[in-house]
Amino acid sequence: MSSAAITRPSIEPDLVLPSRGRVGMFTLIAAETAIFTIFVVAYIFYIGKSVSGPLPEDVLELPIFNTVCLLSSSLTIHLAVKALRNAKVGAFGLSWFVTIALGVTFLVGTGREWQRLIFEKGLTISTNLFGTTYYSLVGLHAFHVTVGLILLAIGMVFALLGKVKQEHSERAEIFSLYWHFVDTVWVIVFTVVYVIGR
Amino acid sequence: MASETIALNRVNQDTRPIGDRLHDWVVTVDHKKLGILYILYALVFLVIGGIEATIMRIQLIVPHNHFVSPEVFNRMFTMHGTTMIFFVTMPILFGFGTYLIPLMIGTRDMAFPRLNALSFWLTAFGGLLLYYSFIGGSGLYGAGNAPDVGWFAYAPLTARAFSPGHSTDFWTLGLLVSGFGSIGTAVNFITTILCMRCSGMTLGKMPLLAWMNLVMAGMVILAVSPLTAAQMMLSIDRYLGGHFFDAQAGGSAVLWMHFFWIFGHPEVYVLVIPAFAFISEIIPVFSRKPIFGYPVMVAATVCIGFVSMSVWAHHMFTVGMSSYGNSFFVITTMIVGIPTGIKIFNWIGTMWGGKIQFKAPMLFCIAFLFQFLIAGLTGIMLSAAPFNWQLTASYFVVAHFHYMIVGGILFAVFGAFYYWFPKMSGRMYSETLAQWHFWLFLTGFHLTFDFMHIPGILGMPRRIYTYEPGRGWEIWNLIVTIGVVFQIAGVLVFVFNLLKSLVKGESAGSDPWDAWTLEWSTTSPPPEYNFAKIPVVMSRRPLWDIKHPEDPDWKYE
């Protein structure tokens, strides 16, 4: 630094650049947001346009328990990251595990909802416009939850092997951005599908 | 130390068997190799797309021609459009960006080198998937066929009932896969530019090429993702019996148009902004002046980025939007002309009073300025809804956007080729051949695309496979096709020049143009680590500062 000061006019301090992981993840989230926006727009555009039943008001039930599970998983992953930042590896593992459990509960809940809709109500993706848009939007979200769960599970394996240390807290935090995003998308999906669309 | 390492690498590369060296290219995560792979891959598809265009032009040279059947003609214009946009222009621009951005911002690689490799191979396999439709389009039991739904694939033509077989599926999947590649590249560009700049390079000191690629990458994120979503919906319709674009079940064909053009129009700017980037780097060097109005250039680019996200429905004036919708898209489309005009004036301002050197890169840039201006003016004409009602889907539109893509973007890409070829290969190209390429291609371009406007005004619709004599279209179509011959000749000279210079060209040295950005401070071609010592910059023209310590730029910026 001192040698540089001779040649440099030293008018500004050295650049502080943002972390690659964060910027990369935020950019990816922006792209994902655009994809979800198109699906949400299609859903809203097609509300009430189905020419045959079953219709959302007849078959959809509010997935309150599911929603509570998924949204609380945002809190638990936040606690996990915070614990890791403070080098509390045990607390990290516990919160991380609870996050996985809540995510799995959500997916199972979605699966049961779909089972009911398909086998009891006779609604499939090809039944009508509602079916097409509903399964696409909720399915796209469930796919993102699944990807998140796979990544969470990989993190859990490392945690169980004792490989997760304090210095990995930034990685955990960057992943948690993705998980928070998936939860935020659910708030929108819930509002559009179960509140406005019903 | 550094020179020893370079020497060792050279020895290693020369003695290893060719299989090992090719293996290196397949598994590489080096941004320079990936950049060159992108460019070579795009050049292959440029030739394929060019052959498709030539087939169409031969078919249209005289009325009632029987060179190809109507079915083949439909496949040709679909494949030509899709190939040229997704598998030529995008990869070639991504290739230059991948190669140049880390060098220009003074770093050793992209932010995510493995993502970089993944993005390239996704794009590459997307193209192969599209072309596999020639073999597997009918599911291998028939002779096979390619997609024939046009490059924007309007519903309901893409429904199973009207596009049986798998050709449309290959189209969808090819674009879906390459779309993921594009998004990966855009994530990488943004992260690299924001997080990897060398010491002293604030955003305001970044080369304009990096700025414009940053804006381009942001637009890819916001524009290619909707296409990806729309392709997913189309796949759901075709494979799972969904009804997104199925009008009989209440779906809407117009929704596909909106989704496609929400991608399709920003895409034009995704392609042209990197072309602006080349122009903004080449014109100052060959005018021997710094760029005129750097902050305004940046502001205009960002402005184009924003405004171009809200102009898409000017492709849809004839589908029956409300008058408010039409007016909105007329106004936003015309507004894009303002920042674009600012750019043209800035480039002219850079040349004004400069010592202009008319070498090949500069010639292509000057031609770009004129042709881009005309393409912009016909764009303003088409943006007026009543005028658009008359001329939409005619050869006037075809001439307009080819003026933009060939006369603008392709000319800029050729300029960039000649400008950075010495850096990438370490050898100089032949200036004589480059001038031949320029004048041949310029003649061909103007013969083809100037005269293509006229049959459009006379009412010739696009995408017809033949036409009746006696409508006044014959002479124009004849001239248009003759222009193709000159363009092919120009491209052949270009390819010959590249190959010859690679083998026999003079050594270029690290800085043949006496240029000012960081890529010229390292050897040609650059070593794998780019810079032995990460540079420190104090102004927008770091090499000027080094060459002129008595009068450095940072005194004035």
Distance CA B362, CA B365 (A): 5
B175-205: pLDDT as tens digits: 999 999 999 999 999 999 999 999 999 999 9
* pLDDT bracket for residue B235 (50, 70, 90): very high
- Which of A28, A35, A129 is closest, CB to CB, to B187? A28
What's the rounded mean pLDDT across residues B433-440? 97
Please give the C-alpha separations between residue B223 and each of B121, B182, B538, in angstroms, as whole numbers: 21, 11, 35
**Beta carbons of A12 and B221 less than 8 Å apart:** no
What's the rounded mean pLDDT across residues B201-221? 96
**Beta carbons of B228 and A35 less than 8 Å apart:** yes
Q: Where in the sequence is the domain holding A188, given as residue range(s)?
A: 20-48+71-196
Chain B residues with CB within 8 Å of chain A CB: 111-112, 183, 186-188, 190-191, 194-197, 199-202, 221-226, 228-230, 232-233, 236-237, 240-244, 249-252, 255, 259, 262, 536, 538, 554
What's the rounded mean pLDDT across residues A140-165? 96
**Beta carbons of B202 and A12 less than 8 Å apart:** yes
Q: Name residues whose C-beta falls within 8 Å of residue B485's C-beta, 6 or more positions apart in sequence.
A: B444
- Residue B529 corresponds to which tokens in the numbers above? 């680590």
Task: Write down the mean pLDDT value for chain A.
Answer: 92
B89-148: pLDDT as tens digits: 999 999 999 999 999 999 999 999 999 999 999 999 999 999 999 887 775 555 568 888
Residues of B in contact with A32 (CB under 8 A): 225
Which residues sit opposite B427 in a β-bridge?
B507
* pLDDT bracket for residue A9 (50, 70, 90): low
> Does B14 have pLDDT greater than 80?
no
Distance CA B221, CA A28 (A): 8
| Number of domains observed in the structure of chain A | 1
**Beta carbons of B190 and A23 less than 8 Å apart:** yes
Residues of A in contact with B225 (CB under 8 A): 31-35, 38
B205, B537 in Cβ contact below 8 A?
Answer: yes
Please give the C-alpha separations between residue A170 and each of A26, A28, A120, A184, in angstroms, as whole numbers: 14, 17, 46, 21
* pLDDT bracket for residue B5 (50, 70, 90): very low
**Beta carbons of B222 and A34 less than 8 Å apart:** yes
- Which of B111, B183, B186 is closest, CB to CB, to A20? B111
Distance CA B161, CA B300 (A): 46
B238 vs chain A: nearest CA distance in angstroms? Answer: 11
Q: What are phi and psi of B461, to 5 degrees?
A: -75, 155
Q: Is residue A113 part of a domain?
A: yes
DSSP SS3 for B199: strand
pLDDT for the residue numbered B12: 44
Distance CA B552, CA B332 (A): 42
Q: Is residue A1 part of a domain?
A: no
The kind and range of the H/E element at B159 are none
- Other residues' Cβ atoms within 10 Å of the Cβ of residue B246: 21
B168, B238 in Cβ contact below 8 A?
Answer: yes
Cα–Cα nearest to B303, from B266, B271, B336, B264: B336
**Beta carbons of A126 and B242 less than 8 Å apart:** yes
Q: Is residue A153 part of a domain?
A: yes
Task: Write down the mean pLDDT value for chain B.
Answer: 93
A99-127: pLDDT as tens digits: 999 999 999 999 999 999 999 999 999 99
The kind and range of the H/E element at B108 are none
DSSP SS3 for B512: coil
What's the rounded mean pLDDT across residues A139-161? 96
% residues pLDDT > 70 (chain B): 96
pLDDT for the residue numbered A65: 96
Residues of B in contact with A45 (CB under 8 A): 252, 255
A139 vs chain B: nearest CA distance in angstroms? Answer: 12
A90 vs chain B: nearest CA distance in angstroms? Answer: 31
**Beta carbons of B233 and A136 less than 8 Å apart:** yes
A22 vs chain B: nearest CA distance in angstroms? Answer: 9
**What DSSP letter does each residue of A66-105 carry, written as one string?**
HHHHHHHHHHHHHHHHHHHHTT-HHHHHHHHHHHHHHHHH
In degrees, to the nearest 5, what angle opens at C-alpha B114 toward C-alphas B113 and B119? 100
Q: Does A113 touch chain B (CB under 8 A)?
A: no
- Other residues' Cβ atoms within 10 Å of the Cβ of residue B38: 26
Which residue ranges make up each domain of chain B?
2-555
A27-82: pLDDT as tens digits: 999 999 999 999 999 999 999 999 988 999 999 999 999 999 999 999 999 999 99
Least confident interval from B14-28, B276-290, B298-312, B495-509: B14-28
A31 vs chain B: nearest CA distance in angstroms? Answer: 5
Residues of B in contact with A20 (CB under 8 A): 111-112, 191, 195-196
Selected for mutation to probe chain B from A20, A32, A39 (highest B CB count within 10 Å) is A20
Q: Is residue A62 part of a domain?
A: no
CATH of the domain at A138: 1.20.120.80
* pLDDT bracket for residue B7 (50, 70, 90): very low
Evaluate whether the domain defined by B2-555 bears CATH number 3.10.20.30.
no
What's the rounded mean pLDDT across residues B436-458? 96
In degrees, to the nearest 5, what angle opens at C-alpha B31 toward C-alphas B30 and B35? 125
pLDDT for the residue numbered A158: 95
% residues pLDDT > 90 (chain B): 88
Q: Could you tell me if residue B341 is left (phi over 0), alpha (psi between -120 and 50 degrees) or otherwise beta? A: alpha
A18 vs chain B: nearest CA distance in angstroms? Answer: 6
**Beta carbons of B240 and A31 less than 8 Å apart:** no
pLDDT for the residue numbered B11: 43
Residues of B in contact with A31 (CB under 8 A): 183, 186-187, 221-222, 224-225
Q: Is residue A173 part of a domain?
A: yes
Residues of A in contact with B112 (CB under 8 A): 20, 24
pLDDT for the residue numbered A15: 78
Tell me, what's the ipTM? 0.92
Distance CA B150, CA B148 (A): 6
B553 vs chain A: nearest CA distance in angstroms? Answer: 12
The kind and range of the H/E element at A186 are helix A169-189
Taking the CA atoms of B273, B275, B281 and B287 in sequence, report the sign of the dihedral they define: negative
pLDDT for the residue numbered B3: 43
Distance CA B489, CA A59 (A): 66
A173, A179 in Cβ contact below 8 A?
Answer: no
Q: Does A163 touch chain B (CB under 8 A)?
A: no
Q: Name residues whose C-beta falls within 8 Å of residue A104's C-beta, 6 or more positions apart in sequence.
A: A149
DSSP SS3 for B271: helix
In degrees, to the nearest 5, what angle opens at C-alpha A40 toward C-alphas B162 and A149? 105
**Beta carbons of A37 and B186 less than 8 Å apart:** no
pLDDT for the residue numbered B298: 97
In degrees, to the nearest 5, what angle opens at C-alpha B548 toward C-alphas B543 and B549? 100
Selected for mutation to probe chain B from A43, A129, A140 (highest B CB count within 10 Å) is A129
Q: Name residues whose C-beta falls within 8 Å of residue A195's C-beta, 6 or more positions apart in sequence.
A: none
pLDDT for the residue numbered B136: 77
Distance CA B474, CA A139 (A): 54
Distance CA B494, CA B437 (A): 6
In degrees, to the nearest 5, what angle opens at C-alpha B552 toward C-alphas B548 and B553? 130
B207 vs chain A: nearest CA distance in angstroms? Answer: 16
Q: Is residue A63 part of a domain?
A: no
> Does B469 have pLDDT greater than 60?
yes
**Beta carbons of B194 and A17 less than 8 Å apart:** yes
pTM for this one? 0.94
What residue in A sits closest to B245 (Cα-Cα)? A129
> Does B48 have pLDDT greater than 80?
yes
